[in-house]
Amino acid sequence: MANRIVLLDENTANRIAAGEVVERPASAVKELVENSIDAGATRIVISLTEGGKQRIEVADNGCGMSQEDAVLSLQRHATSKIRSSDDLFAVRTLGFRGEALPSIASVSHFTLITRAEGEPSGVKIVVSGGDIESMEEIGGRNGTVIVVEELFYNTPARLKFLKSTPTEIARVLEVVGHLAIAHPQISFRVSEGSYERLSTPGSGDPLGALTAVWGRDVARYLRPIRLESPGLCVSGYICTPEVSRPGRSHELFCVNGRPIKSRLLSHALEDAFRSLTPDSRYPIAAVFIEIAPDRVDVNVHPTKSEVKFTRDGDVHHAVSQAVKTALMAYGVLPVIGESASPYRPSSAPQSLPSGSAYAQPTLPGRDFERLGRIAAEAFAPVESASDPPAAGGEGGMERVSEEVSGLAAETRDPFQEPSAPDYRPFAQQLRGFRVLGQAQNTYIIAVTDQGIAFIDQHVAHERVLYERLTVKRLEMGIPSQRLVIPLTLSLGAAESSLLKQKLEDFAAAGWEIEPFGRETFLVRAVPALVRPHFCEPLLRDMIDELANLSVSRRLIVQRDHVTITNACKMAVKAGDPLTMEEMVGLLEQLAETRNPYVCPHGRPIVVTIPYLELERKFKRA
C-alpha cells in the first residue's frame, strides 16, 4: 500500500509559505522594505508598474550581501537576525523568519542585485518560480536592488483576486507610509511609472514624515505625546479633537519601529479621546511604543502585523494616560455652551482659523437655531433648491429605479411584486404617519395604522438625498455653485492618489476639483445643495471614507460610492434637533422615494412596533 502522507518538495512548500506571507503587491513591498530597513539603509526607492502587479523594484543603500549570503538568503528560514529560538523573545529587527525572499521568488520572476561594503564586486542572481536560473558577478554601488516581475504568474488563483491598479497603489502607499512614519530617519520614495507618489525627507523628524504621508493640513494640528516608565516609553503625535476622521484610517501604532494593528491600543486611544469628541468621530494619531523586547511577542501572525504584550494592562494605561495628559496640556477642554466649537483652546496659536476644515458642530442639542436652519435648508424641496424641476417627471424616477436596483449595497424591496414596479404600499403608509416627536434627537416617533414607528432621521434623509442626487446626475448633472475663492486642499499620499483617479466621479456628483501640485488640489465648485461654509469638512470626510473603503476593505470604489458618500455626508446627523415641520417634511419626501425601506448602505430606515406586540407586553392580548 502506497504511503498516503508524502513530504512536499521545496518549491511547493515555498508557494504555500508565499500564500501566508505575500498576499498582494503591497505585501511583497512591505517584506522587501523591512529587509532594507534591517540592512541599515538611509534611502529606499520603490518603483511600481501597474501598481506592482507587473513589476516592483526596491533599491536601498544598506549594507548589502556577499555572494554566499545572497545565495543563502533565497533558502527558507535562512536569516541573519536570529540564531536560536531564545532570540525570538528579544527580536529587535522587523524581519526574523527568513521566509520573505524565497516566498516572493517562488511566485514571480525575481532578480537580486547586491554588493556588500568592502567587496570588490557585486552579484546578480535571477530566479524564476523559485529556481535559480543564473548568477554572475557585476559591478555596482553598495546596497541591494530587488526586482519582482509578474507576481503570482504561476499561481493564477491568487492572481485573479488582485484589485485594480489604483487600489493596489493605495495599498502600497499605505504600507510604505506607515513604515516611513515609524522610521523618519530613512528617506522613502515611491513612484509609479514616471509619477512620484510619495517622498519623505528622511531628516529624522517624525513631523516631516507625518507631513509627507498625511499632508500639511493634518500635520499643523498635531501635538506631541510622551510618557515614560521603566521598560516602556509612549511617544508620538495626536491631533486635537477639532481634527478627526469618520473612521480609523489615521490611527497608527508602532511597537519598536514595527507598524501594527491592535484592538488594545485602539481602545486605549479612543477611550482617552472619547470624552472630547462625538461617538461617530475617531482621532488622528501616530503612537510610538518602545518596550523591552522580552515584554512583547512579535511572532504571533504570519505578516507580523500583530503583537502580544506580556502586561497589556500596563501598555493600555500608558497609552491612555499619555493621550489624556497631552490633550489637557495643550488646553483642550470640553465647553458646555453655545460657542461655535465644543472645544476651547487655552492659547491663541492653537485656535482654529475661521471656516476650518475640521471645525465640528456644537455638542448635540446645544445650538438649536443653527441646526434647525441647516435642517430646514436640507429638507427644502428640489424645486426651491436653486435648480429647476427634474425633466421627464416619472421617467426620470424610472431611470433612478434602474440604477438603484443595480447597486450591490441595496436590498431589494421585499414587499414589491416584480410584475408591478410602481406598486409602493409602504409609501402610501408613510403619508399616513402622524408624527409625535423626536427621541434622543435621532429617531422620529410616529403613530401609524399598524403600530408605533421609529424612523432614523439620518438614514431617511440619506435616502432622500441619494435619489435626488441620482436623478440630477442621470438627467442633467448635479447643479454646482462656483466658489469666489477656490478652496485649497492638501491631502496625504493615499488620499491624493485615490482622488486623482476619481476626479470625474466627483465632477458627476457636483464637485469641480483639479490637481494643483503633487498632493494639493483646488476646489472651484461644489454641489448647489451644499452650503459653502460646510463644503470643506464634508469633502474631506468623503475623501477619507472613500480612501478607507478602497484600502481597508479592499474594494473598488465605484461612481455610486461617491454619490452614496455625498448623500451620507450631506444628510442631517443623529443628534440634530428637528422641528415638527421638518420631521413631517422629511417623511413626506421619504414617501416620494423609490425605495423607502433602506438607505443606500442597506440599513433599515423605519422600525415598527405593532400594536399587537404592545398588547402582549401589557398583557392585553
Query: Beta strand pairing status for 131-138 and 143-149?
Result: unpaired
pLDDT at 610 over 60: yes
Q: How confident is the model at residue 477 (pLDDT cuts 50, 70, 90)?
A: low
Residues with Cβ within 8 Å of 530's Cβ and at least 6 positions away in sequence, in order, are 510, 538, 570
CATH number, domain with residue 320: 3.30.230.10
Most confident of the ranges 41-45, 194-198, 382-386, 400-404: 41-45
With H, G, I as helix, E, B as strand and everything else as coil, classify residue 275: coil
Residue 362 pLDDT:
30
Residue 342 pLDDT:
36
> Cα–Cα distances in Å, from 229 out to 1, 291, 297, 317?
64, 10, 19, 11
pLDDT per residue as tens digits for the range 349-390: 333 333 333 233 333 333 333 433 443 344 444 333 333 333
Q: Same domain for 258 and 326?
A: yes
CA 256 from chain centre, in angstroms, equals 24
> Cα–Cα distances in Å, from 600 out to 297, 544, 567?
43, 18, 9
Q: Which of 141, 176, 209 is the last residue of a domain?
A: 209
Q: For 318-322, what is the mean pLDDT?
A: 92
Among 157-161, 309-313, 347-351, 588-592, the range scoring the smallest mean pLDDT is 347-351
Q: Same domain for 479 and 583?
A: yes
Residue 146 pLDDT:
95
Q: Same domain for 568 and 503?
A: yes
State the amino acid at position 343 in one-letter form: Y
Please give the residue range of the domain that contains residue 258: 221-350
Query: Beta strand pairing status for 251-255 and 285-291?
Result: parallel
- Examine residue 216 and state whether it is found in any structural domain, yes or no: no
- Examine residue 389 and state whether it is found in any structural domain, yes or no: yes
Q: Same domain for 194 and 276?
A: no
Residue 169 pLDDT:
92
User: How many domains is the chain built from?
Assistant: 3
Q: Same domain for 279 and 245?
A: yes
Q: Torsion angle of alpha carbons 550, 553, 556, 557, nearest 10°?
A: -50
Q: Same domain for 455 and 400?
A: yes
- Examine residue 24 and state whether it is found in any structural domain, yes or no: yes
- Examine residue 1 and state whether it is found in any structural domain, yes or no: no
CA angle 557, 533, 481 (to 5 degrees): 70
- Examine residue 358 and state whether it is found in any structural domain, yes or no: no
CATH number, domain with residue 43: 3.30.565.10
- How far apart CA 423 and CA 245 sit, in angstroms, is 41
Q: Same domain for 202 and 133?
A: yes
With H, G, I as helix, E, B as strand and everything else as coil, classify residue 372: helix
Q: Same domain for 478 and 511?
A: yes
Q: How confident is the model at residue 15 (pLDDT cuts 50, 70, 90)?
A: low
- Examine residue 359 and state whether it is found in any structural domain, yes or no: no
Residue 527 pLDDT:
78
Most confident of the ranges 516-520, 530-534, 599-603: 516-520
Q: Same domain for 42 and 79?
A: yes
pLDDT per residue as tens digits for the range 240-283: 877 888 888 899 999 999 999 999 999 999 888 876 665 677 89
Q: Same domain for 295 and 412?
A: no
- Examine residue 215 and state whether it is found in any structural domain, yes or no: no
CA neighbor of 371 nearest in space, from 578, 541, 536, 571: 578
- Examine residue 355 and state whether it is found in any structural domain, yes or no: no
Among 16-30, 164-178, 371-385, the range scoring the smallest mean pLDDT is 371-385
- Using a 10 angstrom Cβ sphere, with 0-12 exposed, 13-18 middle and 19 or more buried, the burial of residue 134 is exposed
166-176 in b/e form (b: 16+ CB < 10 A) is bbbbbbbbbbb
- In this structure, are residues 333 and 346 in contact, taking their beta carbons and an 8 Å threshold? yes
- Positive or negative: CA dihedral 384, 386, 392, 398: negative
C-alpha cell at 498: 485615490
Q: Same domain for 243 and 373?
A: no
